[in-house]
Amino acid sequence: MAQDRPTASELLAAIADFLREEATPTLDRVDPRLGFQTRVAVNSLAILEREARLGPDADARERQRLVSLLGREGTLPELNHELARQLRAGERDERDAALMAHLEATTADKIAIANPKWR
């Protein structure tokens, strides 16, 4: 069961802040390689924090789009599996406006989690 406060998202952000603001500058002076590795870890923590915060809503939107697109219910993995099957079979392609809108929205949600500065 999740705790009330701090949330998982808040804990991840606090760890990332500590590593970014205190540990990384010290490590850069002592061992630049460790400083770089710490920056990679900070970026990974930031992705995990955004995934914890944004992921459930993004998954729900993706699932709803897939239900509408495919005309059937299922879990997100099941629906994605069916879409992939249809694409491989040539039943859908880039001429399908609803498919392209779904792919664009899904990609935008994934980028918002992985690298929100991209756009």
pLDDT digits (tens, 9 = 90+) for 58-87: 999 999 999 999 999 999 999 999 999 999
> What is the DSSP annotation of 95-109?
T-HHHHHHHHHHHHH
pLDDT band, residue 4 (cuts 50/70/90): confident
Residues in the chain: 119
The pLDDT value given to residue 116: 85
Residue 1's pLDDT is what? 53
User: Global pTM?
Assistant: 0.81
Closest C-alpha to 79, from 106, 55, 52: 106
